[in-house]
Structure 1
């Protein structure tokens, strides 16, 4: 009996150690796999860029010159608006700073699972500059349209594109800016849920981000209302998405820590005042 007990303890310890070792091996295998994929992508991009530079130098220089002019124009407009914003805050004696989101260009490495085109692994340069707070959700944008969300999972960035069951964010619908939640429904696909009954929304109404959830900033295009269903106390809208294809590159939206902290403190103070 004593030997049987010792054997059980030995087998239990052996299984535990093997599980820990397998986890470490799995993590290292994923790291090596990502490195190989990134290396192949870099090689492919370098070859394409070299060919493009060789055959289209004059045209590319002209294009980049125009892009630089547009960027300078946008920068001047931004500087002007920033100055106007600061003057407005000064005139009303406000100490609120202009906190802007941080943007990071990210690249698609591969799909997470075969035959699942809504989950992707992402390569992010300069990860140390990105918010590392646990459970922070980032927005993904492509061509100034919402593509999905992203999170940090075991040191790797994973993207959940529109249509994935884990992709959800707050939106506004139509000219009356009715609030709602963009989410996945197993029967209807990607929908806008919990829209108030009034005012009524219409087929063809544009859908934009609201910014209420601090994932995206406001007024980024999501899509259009394709159909409407009324429930007892709210409306549901199916969406014709503006961005529904996987891209090689996305912009990752990282809401500034100070802005997130300010919004969170403001929300907490409102809750405390309501409790009183």
Structure 2
């Protein structure tokens, strides 16, 4: 434990020296080296913990995964049948484009970008991705934010960050809105630019719309807690479902994955 703390302290101390004392080019080289060290450290740490947990809960885990395996076999058969049905439809009407171009990529959370700012993180994924694409971020089934490529690195911007924005639907009637940060309350976000003729209620569920090509549709975002009337539009205050504290890994939504592999 003490060696781990020493490692973290030295890494933090060196990062401060490099950040404030060296040129931009030198810092970029240094960050590439330290990112590699962090990634290996986190992967080894997670692997050790998973092996330890697997050893202690082996019997329970075997029974659990046996049942899951049966379920996955059933899903695989159902997907195979669906794929064959789609193939028959495409053979009959080849102009249709029914196959999804969306990929879900796991990404390791390396570190926070800035000290004491918990809505910006550096991410790492082993799968290919475009340099000019905005990706959706999902954690535990909820929309957590977006990811962009900045200076050759994958940057995660969580809900509440001033640069995090994406399109959403509100309620069963799927009222369109744009989600962005709430300057007055960092733990909440705003669903904005809703015309006055729409009826929004406290307690309405908010989901991703997928219209901006960032997320797929119907990923839960949060719940409306307050309704504001300003500048000729309705603004809904939303409490996000996703927990941004201490994430180890997240899922990236890449809605144009075929171009990433070219």
TM-score above 0.5? yes
Distance 1:192 1:81 in 2: 36
| Cα deviation digits, residues 207-256 of structure 1 (max 9, x gap) | 01111100001111001111101234321001111103232111111112
Q: How many residues get paired? A: 236
Describe the SS at the equivalent of 1:66. Answer: helix
* Deviation for aligned residue 1:153: 1.5
Q: Tell me which residue corresponds to 1:249.
A: 249
2:38 is paired with a residue of what secondary structure? helix
Q: Give 3-state SS (helix, strand or coil) of 2:221's partner.
A: strand
Larger Rg: 1
Work out the CA distance in 1 between the residues paired with 2:90 and 2:195. Answer: 34
For 2:193, the equivalent position in structure 1 comes to 194
* Unaligned residue ranges in structure 2 (runs of 5+): 1-21
Instruction: Give the alignment's Cα RMSD to 1 decimal.
Output: 2.3
CA separation of 1:224 and 1:109: change in aligned 2, threshold 3 A: same
SS in 1 for 2:172: coil
Deviations along 1:104-128, one digit per CA (max 9) or x if unpaired, are 11111111111101001112113xx
TM-score normalised per structure 2: 0.81
Q: TM-score, normalising length from structure 1?
A: 0.78
Aligned with 1:225: secondary structure? strand
Gaps of at least 5 residues in structure 1 are 1-20, 261-276
Partner Cα separation in structure 1 for residue 93 and residue 43 of structure 2: 51
Q: 1:199 to 1:133 in 2, by over 3 A?
A: same
Cα deviation, 1:150-186, whole Å, max 9, x if unaligned, reads 0112221110011111110000101111100000131
Q: Which has the higher helix share?
A: 1
